[in-house]
């Protein structure tokens, strides 16, 4: 494999591997090591069937079913179709978020395979490094956030933005630490996102809104956090959902963009960083 970094800290292109072919344990271990180093891996020039896509995803664990699957139950529960046309009321992911953090066990990785890109250009995805987002906070802010928990509500995007009808019992709502520990690297991660995080527990409504808005602005206004993936047909991007956020840029109206996403459920719930005051 040949590796080409996108930025010094986040994202790498991986050449010289065919993801449609059976993969040895040694090769998969190399990919896992690259994920720990770069968090976002881009595999250009792939020719994948849906079964190829799911098979590669399943190497990471149990495939995820999206909470909105109930409204399109006649399709494969493990393939999330991401299609935007001139008739779309919205494009999925048009805002900084981490995938499905409303789940009790959110996805640990997601794999988006792009089939159609806008002929006018555009349609890129921005990724942001949540290790670095935490590191750039002041020491007093790190100490303040340590031990706090926040609610992540599926109703925010799925009802509030997408206007979907909730399933019986509503969309998931879960509590996760504001500063989480990555289960493989042991590093602290800022684990709130504007897509799903509704409030910080233990703070007043005013305090919670003020702190969350500050953290969201920190993420969306700090360019050094980000890497940009410019899509091509046949490109698959794999990202670590536990330490990144992403934003799908809708700058190509009235043209179309179409991809398919597979996600993998994390074995464990996000855990609080156990020593967030020591750096």
Catalytic amino acids?
A: 97, 99, 246, 261
d(CA 140, CA 112): 37
d(CA 266, CA 279): 26
Q: Are strands 80-84 and 257-265 parallel, antiparallel or unpaired?
A: antiparallel
From first CA to last CA, the distance across the chain in angstroms is 34
Residue 256 CB burial class (10 angstroms; 0-12, 13-18, ≥19): middle
User: Where does the chain show beta strands of DSSP type E?
Assistant: 2-5, 12-15, 40-43, 80-84, 107-116, 125-129, 149-153, 173-177, 179-181, 188-190, 197-200, 226-229, 235-240, 244-248, 257-265, 271-272
Judge contact between 127 and 245, C-beta under 8 A. Answer: yes
C-beta neighbour count of 82 within 10 angstroms: 18
Distances (CA, A) of 207 to 50, 74, 201, 212, 217: 45, 43, 10, 9, 15
């Amino acid at each position: 494999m040949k590796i080409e970094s996108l930025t010094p800290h986040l994202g790498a292109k991986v050449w010289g591997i065919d993801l449609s072919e059976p993969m040895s344990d040694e090769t998969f271990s190399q990919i896992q090591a690259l994920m720990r180093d770069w968090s976002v891996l881009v595999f250009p020039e792939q020719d994948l069937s849906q079964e190829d896509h799911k098979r590669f995803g399943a190497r990471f664990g149990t495939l995820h079913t999206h909470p909105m699957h109930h409204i399109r139950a006649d399709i494969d529960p493990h393939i999330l179709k991401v299609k935007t046309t001139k008739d779309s009321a919205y494009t999925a992911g048009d805002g900084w978020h981490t995938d499905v953090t409303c789940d009790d066990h959110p996805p640990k990785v997601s794999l988006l395979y792009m089939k159609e890109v806008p002929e006018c250009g555009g349609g890129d995805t921005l990724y942001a490094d949540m290790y670095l987002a935490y590191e750039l906070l002041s020491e007093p802010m790190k100490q303040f956030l340590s031990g706090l928990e926040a609610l992540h509500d599926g109703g925010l995007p799925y009802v509030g933005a997408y206007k979907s009808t909730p399933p019986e019992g509503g969309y998931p709502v879960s509590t996760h630490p504001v500063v989480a520990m990555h289960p493989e690297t042991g590093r602290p991660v800022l684990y709130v996102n504007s897509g799903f995080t509704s409030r910080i527990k233990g703070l007043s409504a005013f305090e919670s809104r003020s702190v969350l808005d500050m953290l969201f602005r920190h993420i969306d206004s700090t360019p050094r956090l980000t890497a940009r993936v410019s899509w091509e047909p046949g490109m698959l991007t794999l990202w670590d959902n536990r330490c990144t956020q992403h934003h799908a840029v809708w700058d190509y109206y009235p043209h179309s963009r179409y991809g398919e996403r597979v996600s993998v459920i994390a074995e464990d719930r996000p855990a609080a960083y156990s020593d967030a005051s020591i750096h």
